[in-house]
Amino acid sequence: MARYLRRVSARFARHARDAYAGSAIHEFMESKKESASVFLKSIPENRMLLILAFAVGIGCGFAAVILKHLIHFFEWILTGWFNTPQDSLFYLLYPGFGMLLSYLFVKYLIKDNIGHGVTKVLLAISKNESKIKTHNTWSSIVASSMTIGFGGSVGAEAPIVYTGAAIGSNIARFFGLSYKHMTILLGCGAAGAVAGIFKAPLAGILFTLEILMFNISMTSIIPLLVTAVTATTVSYIFLGNAVQFENTLQDFSIGNLPFYIVLGIACGFVALYFTRTTLRLEDKIKSISNPYKRWLVSAVSLGLLIFLLPPLYGEGYGVLSYLLNGEPEKAIETNIFGNIFAFQWMVPVYFIMVMLLKVYAMTFTNAGGGVGGTFGPTLFVGGVAGFAIVRIFNLLNLTSIPLPEPNFVLAGMAGLMSAVMQAPLTAIFLIAEISGGYVLFIPLIVTSVSAFATHRTFESYSIYTKRIAKHGDLLTHDTDQAVLTLLKTDDLIENDFVAVSPDGTLGDLVDAIAVSKRNIFPVVDSDGYFKGVVFLNDVREIMFYRDIYETTRIRSLMKDAPEYVYQDEKMESVMRKFEDTSAWNLPVLDSSNHYLGFVSKSKIFSEYRKQLHQVSHD
């Protein structure tokens, strides 16, 4: 019976498709699609860019709204029924289950690595022509909402940046835009994502310009503005117009400026700890080959940390809200240490422990299978650091009037973000926008610059760029360096050279010269290994002596190449070899020293000019 029903259903579906295909409706829809395609192709690409930037903004705004609602939905489902203190023990178990669900979702449904969203976007620009897979337009939302909704100690911002960038990249690819316009739309998506999740359009634009896009021009700024404002508007419509962090800030006093400088320097050193500990610990955990063992170690470790320090549960934005409103006792809630406010110096000690161990909680979440970012934890650690430091200042009675603690919490958030991400403008304007704290503009600037300068003294790269810079895949604001990074040695190989055997004769070489258009002849043995090279100029005088054609071996005529280039070698290294040897052509080998062809200066210069035009957004 079931087989019969399936057969009938299939036949019905086939007839329905056939009927639709021959219907007037189908013909009408096809004609409209064709007309739309012709219309879109008739629009100049620069003008189309603005239209698509608006569409990307709508997509990013809705993506941010959906992610926010999904996180709150999971939180409500999991904790909304808590009535007794015993119920809160589930706080220790939930994050581990969320990590496991996220890992299984990624492994068996997505089958791709979607962690470290901002770093993935940077790699897409430098290594994949700004192309991001289609599933990234939604997969990071699902995985991160499970991770964070279950209490994972990470942020939602990096996943939504990856989502927004994927939306921009895929819309650009659908409409067949060029690389430079695809890169701009990718950046628009990232800007719209930050703008939508925080309702902070200016911060979204600065985030893209400081961290992602290496070439700034009016062509790129206008679409960024369109996307950021559109995404923010969508977010306002569905999430309300309240700022992210309500607060009780006080007006800035110029006499407190030295304390903000000290806070900034301290944030710079905390940022060094944050970056280096995160990367080192993540590598150590990921060295555990069995993924389920890795998850178990991470889940148990995270549960233990939350048991010791409950503020480590989830994003931690609730804790920041309490600190920004001068209510640190509410931020601590129940803990195993009892009423720490009965001992004045225990309060900053407790929050310093929270600050230091948040890095571990975040890394356990990500390395154990969760999907989340460092953006949120950076704000959290910065705010907690600001509170701990200002509380120490006040306990030491360094001023006649106690320093305003919420002000320093906010400045600490800006300082740590500026240093960890090495993006001071983004930090200053984001913190001002999400808190309405424009009255603290000067302290935000002073703290951010001090933190950035301190961190930059000891660390050249941000947490997003440190690993990819090590592998030579980082695009920078140095246009020459950026173009060299985009050039791939494998794409520049010329293989129209006539190869000769080392056991061949001068006669064989003359035959090769007769059919070759080049004046270089690679010497390659029967197994394809490169042995040397013969230059036409070196044999020009003897090539007409027929009496030595059979007695002179190519092996005696060849020379060693001045240098070798490998097919996966970075272009910066290749150019250094050309400069050191003054050669015009260098042989290219694979990892086993098999001959592949030559790379020439002329080919590199030609491709360099093309790539320079591509990355130029004017």
Q: What is the 3-state secondary structure (H, E, C) of 3-41?
A: HHHHHHHHHHHHHHHHHHHCCHHHHHHHHHHHHHHHHHH
Q: Which of 170-174, 423-427, 535-539 has the lowest average pLDDT?
A: 535-539
Is residue 336's pLDDT more than 80?
A: no
Looking at the chain, the whole-number percentage of residues with pLDDT higher than 90 is 49
At 66-109, the pLDDT tens digits run: 999 999 999 888 877 666 555 567 778 899 999 999 999 999 99
Tokens of 73: 């939905």
Average of pLDDT values for 484-507? 82
Q: DSSP state, 499?
A: P
Confidence class of residue 311 from pLDDT cuts 50, 70 and 90? very high
| Ranges of H-type helices in 310-403 | 317-324, 328-332, 346-367, 375-395
pLDDT: which is higher, 339 or 22 = 339
Which residues have C-beta within 8 Å of that of residue 618, sequence separation ≥ 6?
A: 217, 218, 219
Q: What are phi and psi of 119, to 5 degrees?
A: -65, -40
Predicted confidence at residue 475, as pLDDT, reads 58
| Number of residues written out for the chain | 618
- Centre a 10 Å sphere on the Cβ of residue 78 and count the other Cβ atoms it contains: 17
Give the number of other Cβ atoms within 10 Å of residue 422's Cβ. 25
Q: Look at residue 9 in the predicted model and tell me its pLDDT.
A: 44
pLDDT band at residue 285, thresholds of 50, 70 and 90? very high
**Does residue 370 or residue 44 have the better pLDDT?**
370
Instruction: Output the pTM of the full model.
Output: 0.79
β-partners of residue 532 are 523
37 burial level (CB within 10 Å; 0-12, 13-18, 19+): exposed
pLDDT for 613 equals: 64
% of the chain with per-residue pLDDT over 70: 87
The rounded distance, in Å, linking the Cα atoms of 592 and 412 is 52
Classify 590 as helix, strand or coil. coil
Of 282 and 478, the structure prediction assigns the larger pLDDT to 282
**Pair 578, 607: CB distance under 8 Å:** no
For residue 262, the cross-strand partners are: none
User: Residue 303: pLDDT band by 50, 70, 90 thresholds?
Assistant: very high
Higher-confidence position of 54 and 340: 54
Torsion sign, CA atoms 301, 306, 308, 309: positive
Q: What is the pLDDT of residues 132-157, one digit of tens each?
A: 999 999 999 999 999 999 999 999 99
Rg, C-alpha atoms of the chain: 30
Q: Give the separation between CA 170 and CA 176, rounded to whole angstroms.
A: 10
Per-residue pLDDT reduced to its tens digit, 179-234: 888 989 999 999 999 999 999 999 999 999 888 865 666 667 899 999 999 999 99
Cα separation, 359 vs 365, whole angstroms: 10
Report in angstroms the alpha-carbon separations of 263 from 23, 266, 386, 443: 71, 5, 7, 10
Q: Please say if the pLDDT value at position 50 is more than 70.
A: yes
Lowest mean pLDDT among 89-103, 380-394, 444-458: 89-103
Calculate the average pLDDT of the chain.
86
The pair of structure tokens assigned to 34 is 């064709």
Residues pairing with 599 in the sheet: 586
Amino acid at 441: F
Nearest to 466 by CA among 266, 283, 194: 283
> What was the pLDDT predicted at 13?
44
- Position of tokens 């590199």? 604
**Residue from 287, 323, 527, 300 nearest 412 by CA:** 323
pLDDT in the model for residue 136: 95
In degrees, to the nearest 5, what angle opens at C-alpha 431 toward C-alphas 429 and 435? Answer: 120
Residue 59 pLDDT: 96
Q: What is the pLDDT of residues 549-598, one digit of tens each?
A: 888 888 888 888 888 888 888 877 888 888 888 888 899 998 888 998 98
pLDDT at 488 over 60: yes
